[in-house]
């Protein structure tokens, strides 16, 4: 690690999801000295997805864990270096960009931010208290613990429905609680969820509190139209109500929107020359593995051109 800290890199990539690994593949193949810094598992949220059906090239689908492994192997094959650490800040005071982590500092000429996003918290009483005691944000990680249980899933988008469908393999009954009267998910997921006998729905409803003893026992739910409040018995609560970008460490270094997503142009260039953003942390219309891969390739190519011109 000391050796890596001592030498400047052509490109540093922050984040090892599909955007980061694709960027690393492209910069390494361009013979740019590349370091990827990842504070968790390579693949990011992709690793917790049981079956990915909409990534081209896998007609029968592919597990997130397997696809992550393929991408990692491919990127490292061309010489990309990696470090397991968390980035705490970026300093632009000197000619080289300085990336600070908990365990050291690294310098580079070009920087690609691929930090992705994490699941949004409900922010209700009981959520933190029962996290890991019945509250989960990952069906693949925790689904098997709820065999023959009655649980709730909060949300109505793609993540909520794909995770709910996976959970039906284990649970006896599942109630999806959604604040609207119609789902937002892709039609094929809606069709599967609406036709699954294990899945019920509470429409126009929000969770106001999670209750329990040593583990989750119930959720207090309010109907937004009628104002009625009731307590729903449950042995687990899976929360999928959207994403929050992991961009807190940037501290207004680059332009971001009101939600914290990095603003870029079509070439993945940020408001600061030599800094690029790709994947779910970037402000854009669609956040999917395929769009992250495209972002990663674009950001890497743009970084290569920036270094050639500099």
Which residue segments constitute the domains of the chain, with CATH numbers given?
Answer: 2-119+243-309 (3.50.50.60), 135-239 (3.50.50.60)
- At 26-51, the pLDDT tens digits run 999 999 999 999 998 899 888 878 88
Q: Which residues of 203-242 are buried (b: 16+ CB within 10 A; e: fewer)?
A: bebbbebbbbeeebebbbbbeeeeeeeeebebbbbbbbbe
What is the spatial distance between Cα 209 and Cα 94, in angstroms, rounded to a whole number? 49
Does residue 108 have an active-site annotation? no
141, 181, 228, 257: which is the annotated catalytic residue?
141
Does residue 114 have an active-site annotation? no
Q: Check: CB of residue 59 under 8 Å from CB of residue 36.
A: no
- At 190-216, the pLDDT tens digits run 999 999 999 999 999 999 999 999 999
Is residue 242 predicted with pLDDT exceeding 90?
A: no
Q: Helix, strand, coil: what percent of the chain each, to 5?
A: 30, 30, 40
What number is the average pLDDT over the span 278-297?
Answer: 95
pLDDT given at position 176: 98
Q: Check: CB of residue 176 under 8 Å from CB of residue 200.
A: yes
Does residue 268 have an active-site annotation? no
In the chain, count H helices and then E strands: 7, 17
10, 108, 114, 142: which is the annotated catalytic residue?
142
pLDDT given at position 253: 93
Phi and psi at 253, nearest 5°, equal: -65, -40
pLDDT given at position 2: 61
H or E element, residue 3: helix 2-6
- At 274-287, the pLDDT tens digits run 999 999 999 998 88
pLDDT given at position 50: 81
pLDDT given at position 220: 98
pLDDT given at position 44: 87
Is residue 186 predicted with pLDDT exceeding 90?
A: yes
In three-state secondary structure terms, 110 is strand
């Amino acid at each position: 690690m000391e050796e890596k800290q001592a030498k400047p890199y052509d490109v540093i990539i922050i984040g090892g999801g599909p955007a980061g690994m694709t960027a690393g593949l492209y910069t390494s193949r361009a013979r740019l000295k590349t370091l990827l810094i990842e504070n968790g598992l390579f693949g990011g949220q992709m690793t917790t997805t049981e079956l990915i059906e909409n990534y081209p090239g896998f007609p029968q689908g592919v597990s997130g864990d397997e696809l992550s492994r393929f991408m990692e192997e491919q990127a490292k094959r061309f010489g990309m270096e990696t470090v397991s650490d968390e980035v705490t800040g970026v300093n632009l005071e000197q000619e080289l960009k300085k990336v600070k982590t908990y365990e050291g500092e690294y310098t580079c000429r070009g920087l690609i931010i691929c930090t992705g996003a994490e699941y949004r918290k409900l922010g209700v009483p009981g959520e933190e208290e029962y996290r890991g005691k019945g509250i989960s944000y990952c069906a693949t990680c925790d689904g098997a613990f709820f065999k023959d249980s009655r649980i709730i899933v909060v949300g109505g988008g793609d993540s909520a429905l794909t995770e709910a469908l996976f959970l039906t393999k284990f649970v006896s009954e599942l109630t999806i609680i959604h604040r609207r009267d119609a789902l937002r998910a892709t039609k094929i997921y809606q069709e599967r969820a609406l036709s699954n006998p294990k899945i019920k729905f509470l429409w126009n409803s929000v969770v106001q509190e999670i209750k329990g003893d040593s583990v989750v026992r119930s959720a207090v739910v309010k109907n937004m139209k009628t104002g009625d409040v009731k307590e729903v018995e449950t042995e687990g609560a899976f929360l999928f109500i959207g994403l929050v970008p992991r961009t807190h460490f940037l501290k207004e270094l680059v332009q971001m929107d009101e939600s914290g997503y990095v603003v870029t142009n079509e070439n993945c260039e940020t408001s600061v020359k030599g800094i690029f953003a790709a994947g779910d942390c970037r402000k854009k219309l669609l956040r999917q593995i395929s769009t992250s891969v495209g972002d990663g390739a674009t950001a890497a190519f743009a970084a290569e051109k920036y270094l050639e011109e500099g």
